[in-house]
Structure 1
C-alpha cells in the first residue's frame, strides 16, 4: 500500500498502542515472526478489520483471533478520514432505484442509517475519549445542475417514504452562514476516526485478540488441508482456518481476485481553533456539516475543539511518486477555505494530510468470500464513505463466519466490476479526475 505524504490529521489520537491507556504515546506493534497459527486471521487494523475482530470475539470468545497490519492500528485511511459520520453507501438514491428497484434502494438507505447509529452506540460502549457529536449533515448546491440532481433525489426519497427534508437557501442560512441555493438534510454525526479505531484496538486486546504490525501481506498460499490457508508476510507465515482481508485498495498489489479497487489519494486541511463567532457561523450551534453536491467540491465540519476541517479537491491515482501533486491540492483547498467565509480569511491552517481510499467502478463496496478461497473474505472499496459502513461490514462478516451469511445487500459480493488499467489508460484516468476537479472549482 502506498504510504500517504507526510502530515498528520488534527485528531488528538494517533495510531495507538492497543495495550496502552488512551492518550499515551503509541508503541510499535510486534511483527509476524516465524510460523504462527490462528482460528481467524484479520489482515488490516483499520475500522473494518478491527470491527470484524471485535464482533467475532464478542460472538465467540473461544476463537483464537489474530489481527495483522502493514503498519499499525489507524495508520491507514481509518485514521486519516475527516470524521464525517453520515448515511451514505453506493450511488445516489434515485440511481439506486433505477439499478436495484425501490425495495432494495430503501433497504440500502436504511442500512446506512443503522450503520451511523451503530457507530454512535459503539463509541459510547467503548468509552471513546472524544465522543461523537450528533447533529446534521447537509448536502447542498450552488449550481443549476446540482439543483436538478437534488430534486431527483428528493423525489426518490418521497417515493420510498423516507424522511429526508429539503432545505431552501434561507433554511441553510439559519444553520450555516454560507451561500448555497438548496440542500438535503440528514441526521448524522462527526467524530475523531483515529480515536474510534484506537478504542476498537484496545477493546480487541482486552478480549484476547492478538495484534501484530509492521507486516504487510505478501500473498496467500494453500494450506496442507482444504480447511487451512497460509498467509505470507516478510517475517513469517500465519496458518489460519479462516481469514478476513480488510486491505482496501492493496488488493490489487496482493493479486486478490476482487475486481478493480482503485487506490486514490484524497486530501484535507484543518485550521487553528476558530473564534466563538466563527464557530457559530459555521455549524457550532447545530453540529451541522456541509457536503457540496458537486463531485470533488469542498466539504467541511467543525471539530470538538473548534477547528474547521475541509476536504475535497482532486484525488490522485496512487502510487504517487512525489509530494508535488498533493502540495498543489492542499494549496487549492486552502484557497477554497479562505473564500468560504470572511472569518476564515486570515485563520492559520495548521494541518494538511492525505489518505488512500479504495474506489470501485460502480461506487459500491465489496464484502464477501473470495471466489477461489471460500474461507477467505475481502472487505474494501467504500469509495471514501467508509466510516459508518466499515463498522457495519465488520459486524456482517462476524455474523457470516459464526452463524452463516445474513441477508444480502448489493455490496455483499465477492468482486467489483473489473476495470482494465494498462499503462496507457492511467494518464486518461488522471486527466478525467482533473476535469472533474476543475468543474468542482467552477461550482464553488
Structure 2
C-alpha cells in the first residue's frame, strides 16, 4: 500500500532535532501540529516574541516530510487567483493588497534565511511567467493589463526579451523581480533546528486523531499514544483537517509532480538562465515550470495534477508514471542539449486546494483557542512562512494593521467530495491537464 506521495525529492533535511513520539499526557502553553513551514514559522516567531513560552510541535512524521520538504523551491509572489480574476472578484484595492502581501511574503523568507544564517541553497533571481503557445497569450495579456492598472511593478517581456534571459522560444512573458529559488527541505530543517535551539519541544510520528474543546483549560489534542493539553493550538495540517472533522471548509488534497536531472551541459545551463538564477513558469492552466540547481541540474514540475480518492487509490501509480513521463519529455524540449540528460529523481507531493483559490488562516469556529493554517493552493513556500508569522502575532495579541486580507478567515467554501462529485473533480482536473499537455 502506498502510504505517502511517491518518490524521493532531490533534497532531504539534515540534523533534525530529536522528535520522540508523543506518549501519555503532555501539556504546553501552545501546541503546533504540523512541522512544515507554516507550523515551524509560527513556533519560531512565538519563541522569538515570548522567550520561555512552552511550545510543543507535533508532526505525523517529521519536519519537512510533507509539502514543505517535497516542493521544488520556487520562491515567488502569488496568493489567490491570477491578478485579473482577483480584481473581478475582490475589487482593485484588495487585489493590489493581495499581490503586495505575496511580495512581502517572499521578502520575509529571504529575511528568515538571512536570520537563520544558513544558505538553504538560496539563489536570488527573477521569476518569469511565459508562454510558447499563442492560445495562452490572451491570459498573459489580461494579467499584464491588470498589473499595469493597479500600478504594480510586473513588466511585460517580449518574446525576444524572454529569450535574452532563457533561450527558449517563448512568445511573451511577465517578469516578477522579487523572487528566488532555494532548497525547501534545507529551509524547513534549519527552521526546526532554530526552534529547538529556542526551547521548542518536538514530537514525531504522531498523527493527530481528534481535537476536543477543553473543560478547564484549552483544547485537547488526541494522538495515537497520548494526549496534549494546551492553552492554545495551531493546526498547520493542510488537507488533513478533514480527517479530524475540523469545520474549515473543503481543503482538497491534490497530488503534484516533479523531476530533477543530473548536471546539464554548460551551454544548456547558461542558455536556460542558470547563472542569473531565473525560474520560468508557463502560463498554461497546470503551469509547468523549470528552475536550475546550483550543482548544474534542472528541476521541472507541474503540467499534471491528480485528485486521487486516496493514497492507495487504484491506478494512482499509473497516473504518476504518466505525469513523470510527460515532465521528462517537456524538460527535454526546452533545449537541444537536454536530449540525453539523465533524470535522477522523480517525486510527488500533496497540496491543499480550495474552491476559491484562497488559503484559510484563522481561528476555527466552535473550537476556542484553536487556529488553522492551510490551503495555499500550490503557492505555499512564501505564504506559509508569512501565515505562520501572522498567526504567531495574533496569538500574542498583536493586531494586524489595516483590513484583513480575504484569506484571513475561518473556513473555505464547502464542496461535497464523495461519490459523483469526487468523480467530477477528478474529471475536471484531468481535462485541464490534458489541455495543458497538448499546448505545451
For Structure 1 versus Structure 2, the TM-score category normalised by the shorter chain is over 0.9
Match of 2:383 in 1: 389
Match of 1:406 in 2: 400
Match of 1:86 in 2: 76
Structure 1 Cα separation of the partners of residues 318 and 129 of structure 2: 31
Output one character per residue of 1:98-136: Cα deviation in whole Å (capped at 9) or x when no partner.
111111111111111111111011111112243411111
Match of 1:436 in 2: 432
Match of 2:151 in 1: 161
1:364 aligns with 2:358: yes
1:265 aligns with 2:255: yes
* Residue 311 (structure 2) aligned to one of 320, 337, 345: 320
Note if contact 2:288-2:302 (Cα within 8 Å) is conserved in structure 1: yes
Structure 1 Cα separation of the partners of residues 120 and 24 of structure 2: 38
Match of 2:16 in 1: 18
* Residue 119 (structure 1) aligned to one of 80, 104, 109: 109
Note if contact 2:219-2:368 (Cα within 8 Å) is conserved in structure 1: no
Match of 2:419 in 1: 423
Decide which moves more: 95-104 or 29-38: 95-104
Structure 1 Cα separation of the partners of residues 90 and 427 of structure 2: 31
Match of 1:24 in 2: none
Structure 1 Cα separation of the partners of residues 334 and 224 of structure 2: 47
Structure 2 Cα separation of the partners of residues 217 and 130 of structure 1: 29
Structure 1 Cα separation of the partners of residues 121 and 311 of structure 2: 34
Alignment of 1:21-420 (within 5 A): 29-187=19-177, 188-225=179-216, 227-318=217-308, 319-321=310-312, 322-407=316-401, 408-420=404-416
Task: Note the C-alpha offset of 1:18.
Answer: 2.9
Output one character per residue of 1:372-399: Cα deviation in whole Å (capped at 9) or x when no partner.
1131000000001100000000110010
Structure 1 Cα separation of the partners of residues 272 and 229 of structure 2: 52
CA 1:157/1:301 → structure 2, altered by over 3 Å: closer, same or farther? same
Structure 1 regions of 5+ residues with no counterpart? 20-26
Decide which moves more: 205-214 or 124-133: 124-133
Structure 1 Cα separation of the partners of residues 90 and 395 of structure 2: 27
Output one character per residue of 1:56-83: Cα deviation in whole Å (capped at 9) or x when no partner.
0001113100000000000000000010
Note if contact 1:57-1:207 (Cα within 8 Å) is conserved in structure 2: yes
Task: Note the C-alpha offset of 1:315.
Answer: 1.4
RMSD: 1.3
Output one character per residue of 1:414-438: Cα deviation in whole Å (capped at 9) or x when no partner.
0001111121221221111111111
Task: Note the C-alpha offset of 1:201.
Answer: 0.2
Note if contact 1:263-1:317 (Cα within 8 Å) is conserved in structure 2: yes
Structure 2 regions of 5+ residues with no counterpart? none
Note if contact 2:5-2:255 (Cα within 8 Å) is conserved in structure 1: no
Note if contact 1:123-1:131 (Cα within 8 Å) is conserved in structure 2: no
Report SS of the residue matched to 2:78.
Answer: coil
Report SS of the residue matched to 1:340.
Answer: coil
Structure 1 Cα separation of the partners of residues 324 and 96 of structure 2: 37
CA 1:427/1:109 → structure 2, altered by over 3 Å: closer, same or farther? same
Decide which moves more: 310-319 or 385-394: 310-319
Decide which moves more: 165-174 or 147-156: 147-156
Structure 2 Cα separation of the partners of residues 127 and 10 of structure 1: 22
Structure 2 Cα separation of the partners of residues 170 and 366 of structure 1: 40
Output one character per residue of 1:32-53: Cα deviation in whole Å (capped at 9) or x when no partner.
0000000000000000000000
